[in-house]
Amino acid sequence: MKQDMVMPQMGESITEGTIIKWLKKVGDTVDKDEIVLEISTDKVDSEIPTPVAGKIVEVLAKENDTVEVGNVIARIETDAGTQPEEKQSEPPMEREEPQASKEETEPSVEEKKEDRPPEKKAETAQAERKPEEGAGVPAPPAKQESTKFYSPLVLGIARKEGIPSDELDNIDGSGISGRVTKQDVLNYLEQRQQSTPSTPAAATTATSDRAQVPAVSGEGVEIIPMDHIRKKIAEHMVLTVHTAAHVGLYIEVDMLNVFKIRERSKDSFNRKEGIKLTYMPFIAEAVVKTLKEFPLINASLDENNILIKHFINLGIAVDTEQGLIVPVIKNTDALNIVGIARAINDLAERARNRKLKPDDVSGGTFSISNFGVFGTKIGFPLINQPQVAILGVGSLEKRAVVVNDAIAIRPMMDISLTFDHRLIDGALGARFLQRLKAHLESYETDMQI
């Protein structure tokens, strides 16, 4: 019997995955739970095992294809007399259509249509009729590719950007069977914006670097294709710029007390926990305290609704060879400094060794970007959607400051807050920074860790 292998659900908010590499090919024999391919979702690469033992007889999704969760990506011939997941397979009549039309993913599209609520079916039916208007005869089965299924993510972007359904239907898709992906919509929006420059100079400026490559001789130019993670980072950054009204504020913090605690405790902490004691656990704990006082900054926006989260999941940006990743410490408000330090170290290590799971980078309510480790004093990072604020942590350095009308040398740190002005006003952002400063400066120097 043939067993369908589908794109797995790898996180609550994950709707699709991109196949990076097939480790097995058609004709190969595999054991149950043997790793057969690598896929990427947002910023995390994952190894996917086979659900059954048998021989791979069909591969329906190629490398670099983006496939929605639940769609069939391969079929495996097993020795079992019955198919364990028969209820997930398609009705016999729908199996015949792919064999006749040679369309590998059409059954999954049909399944998605059947699962839709009535109003979605009506929209789909209307989309199916549109290409046939004026044709005089119904379109043959081979033309049914023009009936497109759109993921909730694609529909959400289209709705936010004001793309009507007929315009969405005309976007060329790069997914399986021409399916429109999120990147296709973003590329379309960029091209649409570039196609109407106000001046000839603007038109020249709007031309992408990639489009200009053929115009140069090639000498001294190295072309490096973006890997999947870099594409996802770029996509997410463009999305946040287009979505949020970014405003930034910063404040100077005297880290003397935290500095003394760390200097006194770092060696014993390292011996006891096996990890280094950095300033980040102190900053994270102070952020948690401050977020509890300002819950609006621990929120998100859903069209006209404000979603205030009564839990705190801190995202801590980690620089890796694959790019910037923001793993999330779930329920950070339930941890003390030692627990936060352990969580930060664990997530950072797994991020650098590509061992993160999709859920490790989802569900964040507030993020921290520590660019100070590279010697940068101050910066204003972009908000990590759908959050409404992000903290930037600068380098700690000794400076001459005025303390009680006298000049003193203190370990100072600049911290910044980038926030979404659609929800957070400047006064609220400033008060948040003032309270965070107060928490960081009020640590007792005899504190035991």
What class, spelled out in words, does domain 245-441 have in CATH?
alpha beta
Residue 152: pLDDT over 50: yes
CA atoms 79, 83, 84, 85: torsion sign: positive
Residue type for position 394: G
Token couple for 410? 């203190």
Token couple for 344? 């930060």
Question: Phi, psi (5° rounding) for residue 393?
Answer: -110, 120
Asked if 333 and 292 count as a contact pair (C-beta separation under 8 A), the reply is yes
Residue 85: pLDDT over 70: no
SS3 call for 31: coil
Percent of the residues in the chain that have a pLDDT greater than 90, as a whole number: 46
Would you call 421 a catalytic residue per the annotation? yes
Q: How far apart are CA 24 and CA 56, in angstroms?
A: 8
Q: Which residues pair with 409 in a beta bridge?
A: 400
Asked if 127 and 144 count as a contact pair (C-beta separation under 8 A), the reply is no
pLDDT digits (tens, 9 = 90+) for 183-212: 788 888 888 877 655 444 433 333 344 444
The mean predicted confidence, pLDDT, of the chain is 80
Question: Phi, psi (5° rounding) for residue 238?
Answer: -65, -40
pLDDT digits (tens, 9 = 90+) for 23-46: 999 999 999 888 898 888 765 777
- Which residue ranges make up each domain of the chain? 2-89, 245-441
Q: Which helix (H) or strand (E) holds 368?
A: strand 366-369
Residue 90: pLDDT over 50: no
329: number of Cβ within 10 Å: 25
Lowest mean pLDDT among 126-130, 179-183, 225-229, 445-449: 126-130
| Topology, domain 2-89 | OB fold (Dihydrolipoamide Acetyltransferase, E2P) (2.40.50)
Mean pLDDT of the region 76-99: 51
Considering 115, 166, 267, 425, which one is annotated as catalytic? 425
Q: How far apart are CA 26 and CA 24, in angstroms?
A: 7
Question: Phi, psi (5° rounding) for residue 373?
Answer: -65, -20
Q: Which residues pair with 55 in a beta bridge?
A: 29, 77
- Sequential DSSP letters for 196-254: S-SSHHHHHHHS-HHHHGGGS--TT----PPPHHHHHHHHHHHHHHHH--EEEEEEEEE
**What's the confidence (pLDDT) of residue 119?**
47
Mean pLDDT of the region 387-398: 97
Question: Phi, psi (5° rounding) for residue 401?
Answer: -130, 165
Q: How far apart are CA 255 and CA 390, in angstroms?
A: 20
Instruction: Give the residue from 129, 3, 96, 116 showing the smallest Cα distance to 54.
Output: 3
In the block, tokens 């976007």 appear at: 171
Mean pLDDT of the region 235-242: 90
**What's the confidence (pLDDT) of residue 363?**
92
Strand-strand pairing, 16-22 and 35-41: antiparallel
Token couple for 228? 């999947």
DSSP label of 274: S
Residue 261: pLDDT over 80: yes
Spell out the residues 6+ positions from residue 137 whose beta carbon is closer than 8 angstroms to its own: none
Would you call 425 a catalytic residue per the annotation? yes
Considering 169, 421, 439, 446, which one is annotated as catalytic? 421
Residue 241: pLDDT over 70: yes
DSSP label of 421: T
Q: Which residues pair with 410 in a beta bridge?
A: 399
SS3 call for 55: strand
The more confident residue out of 297 and 12 is 297
Residue 146: pLDDT over 70: no
437: number of Cβ within 10 Å: 18
**What's the confidence (pLDDT) of residue 354?**
81
Residue 134: pLDDT over 70: no
